[in-house]
Amino acid sequence: MGDKPITMVSDEKAKEPTTLDEEEDIEALAEPPDWLPDGWIMEAYRTEDGTIIRYYTSPISNYTFTTKSEVLEYLFSGTDERMLESKERGAENTLQRQHEWLPKGWVMEIRAGGEKTDKMYKFYVHSITGVRLLSKQDVLLYINEAKISRCDTNGQCDTSSEDNILAKVDIRPSGLPEGWVKEIVYRKTKDGLTRRDPYYTDPASSYTFRTLKSALSFLETGKVSRNAFIQRTSVHDLYSFEISADMHESLRNRLIVNEKPYQEPTRSSRSRRASKIEQDQNIDDTKDGDTSSGSDSPNESE
């Protein structure tokens, strides 16, 4: 509250916090340095004791730093390049192109239906209000006129419980660049419960990560975590249908209780993945919210 904004420019000399005499020309703060890339934002603040503090913000990731060394280390990591590539590749993906109209805060809910549970249905759910709608027209009508349409599937798909949910898909997950997809996979357990496993897919590399922490680590360092993999059937191929489609073979097992103990994948199976999965894998990722066990891929038929 005591800080007083001085100026905002795209370039500035990096220094540790310093103190200026009142007579010194404040415009000197705006002198651009050679090392700061074009487009970066610099904010300078004078504290009550006269100390000048500078903040440097990337226009791509919105990450902010306070020293030259931090900025240079960030630039050397290649984070901005990976985020740009994700954004560009995301714009090419079918799922994003098909749902450009869908506002942030809405997710796709995929449910099993049909007389023989041989169909999958797509609904659009508002994360805050829980409103569930069946089509693009219904969503736009709700947004523009606050009118809620009935999810009429002619009795083919029950929405009264979570028993038939296959996945919830967010094409604009918070904290990740445009183009990334967050998939919450629903699976039955032998205890009669439903497990919800998160997966985060990068459109540029096609890697799928088990936790947000490992996805962010990949963006910041380029390091692929040990439990990352590439799905045989991508989320873009699975969920690009409208209203309903035949059940994809890779989704059938999500409704079946698998009582067999987990076994290490075969060598041929491992060769298709990003890296070998160890049973005693990354404790840090588990602490980050990974509740899943058993199959590493959401597409169990692999």
- What is residue 289's predicted lDDT score, i.e. its pLDDT? 44
Report the SS3 class of residue 44.
Answer: strand
User: The tokens of 37 are what?
Assistant: 């890339």
Distance CA 53, CA 155 (A): 63
E-strand stretches of 31-98? 41-46, 51-57, 64-65
In-domain check, residue 149: yes
Element of type H or E holding 219: helix 212-221
Separation of alpha carbons 156 and 168, rounded Å? 19
**Which residue from 271, 236, 302, 301 is spatially nearest to 99, judged by alpha carbons?**
236
Question: What pairing do the DSSP bridges indicate for beta strands 106-113 and 119-126?
Answer: antiparallel
Question: Helices (H) and strands (E) in the chain — how many of each?
Answer: 8, 14
The CA-to-CA distance between both ends of the chain, in Å, stands at: 56
Same domain as 115, residue 38: no
Q: Is 5 within the bounds of a domain?
A: no
Residue 109 and residue 209 in one domain: yes
Residue 42 burial (C-beta neighbours within 10 Å; 0-12, 13-18, 19+) = buried
Q: What is the pLDDT of residue 128?
A: 93
Question: How many domains are contained in the chain?
Answer: 2
Give residue 103's pLDDT.
92
- Confidence (pLDDT) at 111: 96
130 and 66 assigned to the same domain:
no
**pLDDT digit of tens for each residue in the chain (302 aa)?**
444 444 344 444 444 444 445 445 455 565 657 778 888 888 888 788 878 888 888 888 778 898 888 988 888 888 888 888 777 776 677 788 889 999 999 999 999 999 999 999 999 999 999 999 999 999 999 999 999 999 889 999 999 998 999 999 999 999 898 889 999 999 888 887 889 999 999 988 889 999 999 999 998 888 899 999 998 888 888 999 999 999 998 888 887 765 443 343 443 333 343 333 333 333 334 444 444 444 566 765 44
Whether 107 and 51 map to the same domain: the answer is no
Contact 63, 51 (CB under 8 A): no
DSSP code string of 132-199: EESSHHHHHHHHHH-PPPP---TTSS--SSSTTEEEEEESS-TTS-TT-EEEEEEEE-TTS-EEEEEE
Same domain, 153 and 109: yes
- What pLDDT score does 222 carry? 87
Q: Give the range of the structural domain holding residue 48, as residue numbers without chain letter.
A: 33-77
Domain identity same for 119 and 216: yes
- Domain co-membership, 52 together with 114: no
Same-domain pairing of 170 and 228:
yes
Question: What integer pLDDT is reported at residue 51 of this predicted model?
Answer: 80
Check whether residue 129 and residue 188 sit in a common domain: yes
Let me know whether 125 and 48 are in one domain: no
